[in-house]
Chain A
């Protein structure tokens, strides 16, 4: 059993930490940075199932806007990702559609900071968030959906143990072509076998 000092318990160090990153709440200081990331339409097209939209910091701050709704949603956690070494804000990790009856949720990560992409941080964020979902939220299943043209992410999820479960054909429209939406998932027993 892990013995923590009172200080360690208060700071919840172990539950929200990965190798190089830490998960925490998103602060108002972070919002202009998020707006900058979302203004990259390539990034938007990796996570937004519909058409692209121009995003301003004001929209993210708006208490009646879509971002505030996501941040305050009672069945979701919208978490900020910071590097442990120098507290650099590098991305977002979301746990969405938490279903308290079937004990499942969906994960979605978004490493918006260009200097921290393609360097293995995605894996760190995913494993840390998955561990939080299984060990703290008592989930039985973690799922995700990913677009068929996001090959880098699909490879990462396969490497992490997510199983391909469904392919929604021609769910997305981009530049004159349709693309598919893939559902993948990992069950608690599969997680424990792999990471326990």
Chain B
């Protein structure tokens, strides 16, 4: 890996030597891990006692979901590259990678929306069965988190057009990046749980 020395903003550092915003985001993500663990854990327990849970591919479209996973993993890459561009104070590349991340995230939600519309057209709604309760709850909560990430990245993209962006707000990209990768992490586990097993 190429080594490049960068300096963090001294105004945001804490006594631990870690920027306060970054530490705060890691703490928030730790709480989000507990949030999704509660949901997924409840789904696991409910599934273990529910004999009518469908087989893989029976009710859900695996290739479409796999393609959606590909989209989200790609958005994680573009987000990481955006963070690197922010550290290098390369605003042009930062804007490109932020825009790409936003577009890919929006595409993920678009595919998810299409999946939902197909389920509704076949008469599957939240409340139809325990499986659909779990499916819509888990993917719905995840989708809301993706939407929040898109809005945040959109706001940061708008900030990149300000003259004081690099000096004052460049670290926002790294903090937002941590959140976006977490959203990807959740889907890395949700996808196999709902679609593959």
Please say whether chains A and B are actual partners in one complex.
no
